[in-house]
Amino acid sequence: METRSENICFGGVQGVYTHSSETCASDMTFGLFLPEEAKTGPVPVLWFLSGLTCTHENAMTKAGAQAIAAETGVALIFPDTSPRGEGVADDESFDMGQGASYYVNATESPWASHFRMWDYLTEELPALVGAEFPLDMDRQAITGHSMGGHGALTIGMALGRDRFTSISAFAPLCRTMDSDWGTRQFGLYLGEDREKWRPHDASEVMRDRGFDGPVLVDTGTADQFWDKLKPTALATAMADRRQQGAFRLQPGYDHSYFFISTFIEEHVAFHAEALYG
């Protein structure tokens, strides 16, 4: 693992690291914020999965999460959104290929050889950071934005309380099986059998299994991608499941990091409360 940078931040350290990923068959880069408490022992972990076109850097530099993470003693991990580099398949459109993994394990050519993001995020990267940094991997939570909100919800519900204490999302893709952000991509990544898509549709997973813990979802009423996100599907599934948690519509907010930075303190505090029990 190579240290790309480390900067003092709110008494802790914001680092960026690159490692060779066996799962994705490429070099992968991630950001990690360690609060000051990590100097004396392991700290709980909050994962932040980013959206389409993003890298590890977007949320790390724009969300403003480090201040409240430092206050609550929580580490933040900012993974990349896909494998990258020479030889990694890509697409001319922004919503497919590099920067647009949808956090799935692709099964179709040419994607399957590198796009194994589900396994990377649930197995390889947690094992790496748990071994290399003072992190309490028995206390983890997960959040994300847009495509990353979809990833946080589907991964969080699939792994359940054995892995995560809590789940949250900012403007997540709520129904991917029949959305412009889902149908083309899943067809290319996972093939034409739509049953294989179901575990990667947040509203379907919510309806099928939900989460045995608190869930917080925020979406802006002025989100310019409302029709693609399909928030009504997730809100209805949460209500039908009687899911513990809250689905909030924030008046006037759009899809940008201005929206995320406005509510990030509430989300990190929400997770900190669950992580510290």
What CATH number does residue 168 fall under?
A: 3.40.50.1820
Residue 114 a catalytic site member:
no
Among candidate residues 21, 26, 50, 146, the one labeled active-site is 146
- 231/249 Cα distance (integer angstroms): 9
Question: What is the token pair recorded at 21?
Answer: 């990923």
- Residues 107 and 197: beta-carbon distance below 8 Å: no
Residues in CB range of 161: below 8 A, 6 or more apart: 211, 212, 213
What's the mean per-residue pLDDT of the chain? 98
Residue 103 domain boundaries: 2-275
- 208 vs 193: CA distance, rounded Å: 19
In the chain, the percentage of residues whose pLDDT exceeds 90 is 100
Secondary structure class of 231 (helix, strand, coil): helix
pLDDT digits (tens, 9 = 90+) for 55-81: 999 999 999 999 999 999 999 999 999
Selected catalytic residue, list 56, 114, 150, 255: 255
Q: List, for residues 237-261, the tens digit of each pLDDT value.
A: 999 999 999 999 999 999 999 999 9
Q: Distance (Å, rounded) from C-alpha 170 to C-alpha 191?
A: 28
Q: How far apart are CA 98 and CA 77, in angstroms?
A: 20
How many domains are there within the chain? 1
255 annotated active-site: yes
- How many of the other CB atoms lie within 10 Å of CB of 89? 18
101 catalytic? Reply is no
For residues 196, 28, 33 and 61, what is the CA-based torsion angle, rounded to 10 degrees?
-90
Q: φ and ψ at 91, to 5 degrees?
A: -145, 150
pLDDT tens column, 125-177: 999 999 999 999 999 999 999 999 999 999 999 999 999 999 999 999 999 99
Q: Which two tokens stand for residue 149?
A: 């909100």
Closest CA to 83 of 68, 71, 65, 101: 101
Q: How far is CA 246 from CA 58, 211, 239, 242, in A?
A: 26, 13, 10, 10
Task: Choose, from 80, 201, 218, 223, the residue flagged as catalytic.
Answer: 223
* CB-based contact 3:15 (threshold 8 Å): yes
Q: Does 231 sit behind a cis peptide bond, omega within 30 degrees of 0 on the bond before it?
A: no
pLDDT at residue 277, rounded to an integer: 86
Asked whether residue 17 carries a pLDDT value surpassing 90, the answer given is yes
